[in-house]
Structure 1
Amino acid sequence: MATSLSTTGCVGSSFYGSWGTSIVGEDYTLLAKSVPSQVRIGRGKPVRLQPMMKNINEGKGIFAPLVVVTRNIVGKKRFNQLRGKAIALHSQVITEFCKSIGADGKQRQGLIRLAKKNGEWLGFLA
């Protein structure tokens, strides 16, 4: 963004847009409508794109191969149930730790987010 110093001593800018409509309102709807919801492959029927929430470190991390093999053996549904129970238990441990040292809720949430980030990095969420 180019800036210039005007004669009044104020810094001017080449930005002429509005901050209020940068992501909300009409601009967002226009952007959302411009993204295709279907893609044609060759001459066949259009294929609907599925929204995906993926771990950016999927398949990476020291424990990722073990997690993938376990998921394939146990089955995806049962594996996700076990993973959910393990995550809940770990969150309870973090909560009890925070209570014992007198940390507030904001610090507890920060520790839980850090645990999730570390789990992704190590490959537990592969």
Structure 2
Amino acid sequence: MAKAEQIPVPFRIVIAQPVAGVLHSLQAKDDLPLDPKLSQAGEPLCFDFPVRVAPGPKFFGDQVRREGPERRFVYIRIGQAAGDPGSPWSRRMKIDIHDIDPALLARAAEGGVLEITVDGTGKDGTPTCATVRPTGRRVVAS
């Protein structure tokens, strides 16, 4: 797909109620941690990154991963995977973006940030991992 057909859309992932003291990061294109952050007392963590959206919609960018012909997602690395060798956890969250409402994408492309919120703590009290369902998707002011 030609880059001329791709529209930049700012994305933000908010990890609500992360496990305190556990490092989180985006996963970079080279599979390394990017922008590591730590919650001291369970306050939300925010990760901002650009995504290019083409008709379809189709998603492109350094943080966008693919699985099959349709599925697109972003990884959040946790604990050891985020660069903390002393953490008891080495996990990743997989956050789907391929199923975002096209109307929401269009609103964000017109001058906002597409914010996706996920829970950071699982039912067992440990960091959430595997495929994580968003608790909210909205467009916020940039």
Considering the TM-score relative to the shorter chain, is it more than 0.5? Answer: no
Higher share in strand: 2
TM bucket, shorter chain:
under 0.3
What TM-score, normalized by structure 1, do the two folds share?
Answer: 0.25
Higher share in helix: 1
Larger Rg over CA atoms: 1
What TM-score, normalized by structure 2, do the two folds share?
Answer: 0.23
